[in-house]
Amino acid sequence: MSRAADPGLHPAVLVEAFASRPCEGNGAAVVLLDRPLEDGEMQALARSLNQSETAFLLPHGGQWLLRWFTPTCEVPLCGHGTLAAVLALGHWGRLAAGQPLTLHSRSGPLWAQLDAAVDGVAQIVLPSSGLIPAGPSPALEVFVQERLQSALEGYWTSPLGYTVGLLPADAALATAVLPSRDLPEADQGGLVLMQPLDPCTGPRVLDMPCRYQLRFLAPGLGIDEDPVTGSAHALVAPWWLERLALERVAGWQCSHRPGGMLCEHASSGMIRLCGSGHLLWDGTLHLDSRACGGESPGQPSPPGAIRAGCGWDGLLA
């Protein structure tokens, strides 16, 4: 049966974002839609695909709409899911290298582009909401001391909902066991633990030495630990750019599936991230809305039609 004859067929890929080879970086499934799916259908698909995020792309009126779901909830911003979506559009022949692209999301319009010189590399621009100095809770101080035998040198909150802790360079961040279930409630929506790196001995990203590394725990989003988190790097990169007096900085994420990216200022309040990705698989989803927990298992919406009040409504506002 052809795809045109069956609205339940959707192209899908799995991209390992911010990685240059298989089984590294952060896996994101990307699903290409030709009509809006209900939130329940997308949530059920994200749960079945079981990646840290699944990105859904919908063409609409000459524009691209983008939404992201973890296995348990929708999120307003996802860096690696955005990078994966851009690389997927290139793989499907829907985006040419060097062609600027705007993706409309719940975090506003996001600029992106496939690298014109290097295959499998893309740039995305994400909002950076800024760090707000604060004091860590006693419970978090105990967690850091017990798990890292170290103390925080700085702590911030953010409008994004993430909290950020700065560790000394000699803290064993890369090898520490960090059970996210033990985090204080205030940090469960996303805790970034970061530290400086020696550029002479640390990893490199796209031939540039990394100057900092981080780990990201987010049990409140259904993610014990995210392997490589674009939104976390977009949040902290301005702090590192200022501290190191650099125009561009390479950041590393020392998780069990490591990876990194280049970060630089874009327009006001925005950060440009550049990273590579590896296409792990390419296929087609056979979706029956009744089997996937869809909220409206009746007739599917006409292609391009967006029902007022649904989750897709307002992304172009």
In 3D, which of 27, 75, 34 has the Cα closest to residue 57?
Answer: 34
Residue 77 has which token pair? 């911003």
Predicted local distance difference test score (pLDDT) of residue 304: 55
pLDDT in tens, 193-231: 999 999 999 999 999 999 999 999 999 988 899 999 999
| Neighbour tally for 297: CB within 10 Å | 15
b/e burial code for range 210-224 (CB count within 10 A of at least 16 → b): bbbbbbbbbbbbebe
Predicted local distance difference test score (pLDDT) of residue 21: 86
In 3D, which of 198, 210, 130, 139 has the Cα closest to residue 164?
Answer: 130
Residue 216 forms beta bridges with which residues? Answer: 192, 226
User: Domain containing 150 — which CATH number?
Assistant: 3.10.310.10
CB 285 within 8 A of CB 48: no
Residue 226 has which token pair? 């995210």
107 lies in the same domain as 147 = no
CB 227 within 8 A of CB 25: yes
- Euclidean distance between the first and the last CA atom of the chain, given in angstroms as a whole number: 37
Q: Is 296 part of any domain?
A: no
CA dist 227 to 1, 22, 217, 223, 271, Å? 38, 14, 9, 10, 20
In 3D, which of 109, 106, 111 has the Cα closest to residue 77?
Answer: 106
Predicted local distance difference test score (pLDDT) of residue 297: 36
In 3D, which of 228, 216, 230, 226 has the Cα closest to residue 274?
Answer: 230
**What residues make up the domain containing 230?**
132-268
Q: Calculate Rg over the CA atoms of the chain.
A: 19
161 lies in the same domain as 233 = yes
Q: Is 2 part of any domain?
A: no
108 lies in the same domain as 21 = yes
pTM exceeds 0.85 for this model:
yes
Predicted local distance difference test score (pLDDT) of residue 269: 86
Give the residue-averaged pLDDT of 76-103: 97
Angle, vertex CA 61, rays to CA 57 and CA 63, nearest 5: 45
From the list 16, 53, 74, 225, the catalytic residue is 53
Find the range with the poorest average confidence among 55-59, 125-129, 149-153, 293-297.
293-297
Place of tokens 């992304």: 315
Rounded to the nearest integer, the mean pLDDT of the chain is 92
pLDDT in tens, 250-295: 999 999 999 999 999 998 889 999 999 999 999 999 987 554 444 4
45 lies in the same domain as 104 = yes
- 242 belongs to the catalytic site: no
142 lies in the same domain as 122 = no
27 lies in the same domain as 103 = yes
Q: Is 314 part of any domain?
A: no
Percent of the chain at pLDDT > 90 equals 85
Residue 257: CB partners within 8 Å, gap ≥ 6?
16, 19, 23, 24, 25, 26, 27, 227, 228
146 lies in the same domain as 202 = yes
Predicted local distance difference test score (pLDDT) of residue 291: 43
Q: Is 189 part of any domain?
A: yes
The number of distinct structural domains making up the chain is 2
Number of alpha carbons in the 13 Å side-chain half-sphere of residue 156 = 19
Q: Is 182 part of any domain?
A: yes
pLDDT in tens, 227-241: 999 999 999 999 999
Find the range with the poorest average confidence among 42-51, 241-250, 260-269, 299-308.
299-308
CA dist 68 to 57, 260, 308, Å? 9, 21, 20
Q: Is 299 part of any domain?
A: no
Give the residue-averaged pLDDT of 110-120: 95
Residue 114 has which token pair? 């496939």
Q: Is 309 part of any domain?
A: no
More confident residue, 221 or 4: 221
Q: Is 312 part of any domain?
A: no
Predicted local distance difference test score (pLDDT) of residue 302: 54
Residue 156 forms beta bridges with which residues? Answer: 133, 164
71 lies in the same domain as 26 = yes
Predicted local distance difference test score (pLDDT) of residue 36: 93
Give the confidence band of 317 by pLDDT, cuts at 50, 70, 90. low
